[in-house]
Structures are given as structure tokens and as C-alpha cells.
Structure 1
């Protein structure tokens, strides 16, 4: 690498950072000795770069130095092209057009070889999970940009409609939804509003009482303050569990946007201390240390002392047995229905729901080759089972209700289970259990903090 390129790389490294960075780190990134790095910093300062700091303290580039980089690298071109494709498919029409225009402008000034990389179709953005929006996202973005209050009509997941005044803080573009974060005057707290549930919106002339940057800082502080990788839950048990099971450390591996919510609910039901390790899709879930826990590289999983359990239904059954004080499993002689429906949900209901969501069901000729037969058969059996029952395995709530209820609740919410009265009645008796609400609130708060955290 020439010295000129190296100097520009050092500038780029400083541009990427908001806080002072040590000379040792810059030298390591540039692939030079610390002594050479010091000479390069001095050369850049002589050229007019406002680099503040000194050896042993760290360096920071002040705004205003406009010397442009030599040229984009191939990786930078690929990143820009892929990002533009994502924006063009995942945002509102105005941003989509802007992304395409930006690519066209870049293409006009790039050398021919890099222009080919920009227009290469090797990196694709697949279709997302699109929901219809009643309000143009452009309006929400304008409220953010102009720092104006927003009057919205909002319908929550239960169908209840409210009128609110919101002080917008941020707008998140996620794979499955778009979310507006802001201070809600109705609730006197920060809240997150799914854009597809905003049925009407109007920008008001009034500005929030504080600048958006200030609100943004307050909103971030309102999120969970524990470390990302490990969150400890120390809620005392309602019935103190004692003995050897309590003495073992209980670790819960999950991602807040996963089937881990079922286990999270179960953990809150048993009411014992546990810690949470959040695993990210495609990265920490596939890391060697986690593959030693679950070779499939997926969540949820638990580690209780030296015992590792994976698979959601198995975890629920294990926790019910390991903490009998919680009363989440019938007596051993009375577990026929309990085991039957717990593993019917794992072996038949989930498979039938998943295939239904993918738009596929075994043909009559193929049904004998599949354990669940057909979606219709599974749904009919499940509906007859929960009809006029408060709990699925007897007179008491058990781990089977956690698992079966979660399957039904998820299916009703995402239209992969028919909205039959039997299902709605059964789920209505479970969805507001305090343990489930606690687990949902913790998972939602964790998901919000991680999703909104700056890169």
C-alpha cells in the first residue's frame, strides 16, 4: 500500500469514530509501526486535518476537514449497492426513489470497472414481510425531521383503538415491521408504535418541549441498562423453591424474536433466578462456544448446572420436573394427557403451522408419509381438545398450557391457525397470566434496546 493510500485510510478510520482512538489501535488497523503512525498523523496535521490528541492519549478528527477519499473500494461499492437495494424495497416510496437516484448519481461518476460492481446483481435483497400501512411513512419521517408533535390514531394487538399525541424520536425499519418510537402523552412514557397499526396521523404545529436529540438520549436511557450478552433476572419466587435444583446456576439462551419467548414465559412461571444470554442470528448463534451448547446453532436452550437442554417442548418439560414446587406438571401417575398434548403440539401442531405458513400441505397421497397427516386434521383435533377446557391437561395450569397456548396464540396472531371460537376462548384464559406478561415485557424491552442500538 502506498503512503498516500495509507494516509487516507487513517483519515477514514478517524472519521468512523466519535471518540478518541489510541495510536496503537490506529497503527494496528493501518498495518504499520506505532512510530510510523505518529509520523503519518503529523503529516495529516500539516496538510490541514484537524486531528486533536497526542501520543499516549488518543486521536480524534474534528469536523470540517473536507479532503475526499481517493476512491471507493470494491467492498464499499458492494455495501452501497446492497444498502440501496434494501432501502428501495423496505422503505416508503420517497426513500425508495431517493435510493435509486443516489445509485444513478454514483454510477455516473465511477470508473467503468467500479460502475460494473455497483450494477452487479450478484448480491440480492429478498422479499420482506410486508404489511399494509394506512399512513405514509414519509409523513412520519417529516414529523421526525421537523421535530413536531404527531397526533395518531392507534389500534393495539387486541384491537383497542386510542387517540394519542406522540413526540417522535426515531423510526425503525426492521425486516418484519416498521416501528415509530416516541414519548406518548397518553401514557406519560416512551412507547413503540407499529406503523401498520397507525390508522391515521397528523403533524401538529406544536414542537415537543425538548429537542429530539435530548429526547433520544432519554429514550435510550429508558431501555434496559444491563449488558447485552447477559441479563440477570432476580425476581423472588412466589413459592420459594429450595434444594439442589435451586443451587444450580440456570442460564437461558435466547433471542427476543424467537421461540425463546415460550421458555421465557415458562421461566417466569417457575419463579426462580435465572440469567439470559442473547444470541444473534448468523453470528453468535453459530459461534463454536454456542454450538457446544446446541449443535443446531439455534435458540432457545438452557443450561442448568451441568445439564444442557435444547428444544422448546423438552425445556418446558425439564423445568417443570426440575422445579416441582412451581406445580407445572401433574403427578407422575396422571401425566398421560400432559405428555400427549405437550408433544402433540411439538410434533404435529408446529409442523402443520409451519407448512401452512409456507403455503404447502401434504396431498392426500402423501399424508401417510407425514407424522401429522394434514393441517386440517391437526387443527380439528386441537380444536376439539381445547373446546370448553380452561387447561389442556386437567384442572390445573401446566407446562403443556405454556407450550400449546403459545402455539395457538402465535397462530391466531399471524393467521396460521384458523380463528375458531375454541382457540380464542382457550387463549383468552392464558394470554394475560402475570408470568407471560412479565416475560413479554422483558423480551420486548430487550428487543427494542438491541434493535435500536446504534451500530
Structure 2
């Protein structure tokens, strides 16, 4: 039987791992296309015919007839395609809950991921170190963390309602990546609610299966 869909991506891409969590919750089978090479596969004519901007990841339906780029759109599609859709996205008639889940999903990409990516890439020497740019993104990331901390100030375990939703999967997907590169012990001390929330969500079986164990750096790498 063909899988629900397949991903074109390098290994351990958190945008794919988030979708693996969602697929598992929905009882859907998804696969990684073997042999993918960033900068090679996604620049090939075959890839660009499916995903014109060459973005990673690319999602293809099991029958090959449907293609999606943009991690947020892919995650929402997978969430909408199974029996847990109401839990993940909010019930069809509950516009406020659905809007809040969308808000946090956008926040994950526009505030957290956008500010994690440049310093993260500098940390692993993919981007050249630029002190001003690095510090600008770190400050913006810390500001975004403060927003999440304020939302969790009452000790809640989930961002929207009383159960795991797409909002949590999108946010924690970025947070667990950040703790490998920039969200060090000193930064975590400023947001104890976020740290507790992150650790709690990462214990959800589907999260643990997709992401593995949480990595927590003590201090950010010194760059120059």
C-alpha cells in the first residue's frame, strides 16, 4: 500500500519531524525519500518541477499527484487528514480555538524559527559569523521566548486548551532544535515555564519517537 505521503529532505529536519508526530497521531504512514542531498536534489529539474523554489522540505502525496512546500502548510495538511484533526486544529465550528492554534503555528515560524536559523547556522559554520546579525537574532529569539513564557505563567501544559494541538507541536519542534545551539542554560533560566513546558511535551510518545531525546546545551559556542 502506498504511504500517505513522502518527504524530500535531509535527515533530522525538525519541520519533517513535526509532521511525523502529526502523522503518527493520525495513524498515517509517511516516508523520507532516500538519497536526498541538500543543494543537489532540490536544484534538479525534477525537484523544481514539483517545488518551483527548491524549498526543503517538499511533500508529495502517496500517489504522486499532490505537492506542497512550506512547513506550516504541510503540517496543517497532515493534521487535517486524519481522525485527530479536531484535536490538532480545533473543531470546525470553534473559530476562536482554530485561530489561536493558527496564531501559535505562525509564531513558531515567524518569531522562533526565523530567529533561530541564522545564529544556528553560524554555530555550525554554515553561515559566516556576523556579530551584529547574531546578536540581533538572539535578542529577537529571547523576546519570542518571553512571549511564550508569559502564556505559560499559570503553569499550563498546553498553549491552547487542555490537550496537545498543532500549536504545541509547531512551537516545541523549534524549541527542541534551539536547545542544541542557542537556548543554553543561562537563557533557559530566564524562562522556567518554557523549559518545563518543553520537557513535558517532549515526553509525549509520538514526540519522543520522532525527535529522540532532548539535547540541552550548557553554553552557546563562542564564535568569532
Q: TM-score, normalised by structure 2?
A: 0.72
Match status 1:318 vs 2:77: yes
Match of 2:141 in 1: 375
Match of 1:262 in 2: 18
Contact 1:262 1:406 in 2 (8 A): yes
Give 4+ residue runs of structure 1 displaced > 3 Å after superposition. Answer: 324-327, 355-359, 373-376
Higher RCO structure (Cα 8 Å, ≥6 apart):
2
Partner of 2:219: none
- Separation in 1, partners of 2:152, 2:21: 20
Residue 411 (structure 1) shift? 1.2
Match of 2:152 in 1: 386
Query: What are the within-5 Å matches in structure 2 for residues 278-289 of structure 1?
Result: 278=34, 279-289=36-46
8 Å CA contact 1:268–1:438 kept in 2: the answer is no
**What's the Cα RMSD here?**
2.8
Unmatched segments (≥5 aa) in structure 1: 1-233, 235-246, 364-369, 442-455
Higher helix share: 2
5 Å-filtered alignment, 1:323-334, equals 323-325=82-84, 327-332=87-92, 333=94, 334=97
Deviation at 1:282, TM superposition (A): 2.3
Distance change >3 Å, CA 375–CA 440, structure 1 → 2: closer
| Secondary structure class of the residue paired with 1:292 | helix
Residue pair 2:158, 2:168 contacting (<8 A) in 1 also: yes
| 8 A Cα contact 2:3 2:29, kept in partner | no
Which one has the bigger strand percentage? 1
Deviation digits for residues 247-271 of structure 1 (CA, Å, limit 9, x no counterpart): 9842222221323222223222222
Matched residue SS, 1:392 = coil
The Cα of 1:438 is off from its aligned counterpart by: 2.5
The structure with the larger Rg is 1
Distance 2:152 2:52 in 1: 35
1:109-153 deviation per Cα after TM superposition (whole angstroms, max 9, x unaligned): xxxxxxxxxxxxxxxxxxxxxxxxxxxxxxxxxxxxxxxxxxxxx
In structure 1, the partner of 2:171 is 404
Give the unaligned 5+ runs of structure 2.
Answer: 123-130, 213-224
Residue 421 of structure 1: which of 168, 171, 192 is its match?
A: 192
Q: CA deviation at 1:393?
A: 1.6
Distance in 2 (CA, whole Å) between partners of 1:273 and 1:356 is 34
CA distance in 1, matches of 2:3, 2:179: 37
| SS class of match (1:251) | strand
The Cα of 1:335 is off from its aligned counterpart by 1.0
d(CA) in 2 for partners of 1:330, 1:408: 23
How far the C-alpha of 1:344 sits from its partner, in A, is 0.9
- Aligned-residue offset at 1:330: 0.9
The alignment of Structure 1 onto Structure 2 pairs a total of residues equal to: 188
Residues 1:362 and 1:295: Cα distance change in structure 2 (over 3 Å): farther
2:215 maps to which residue?
none
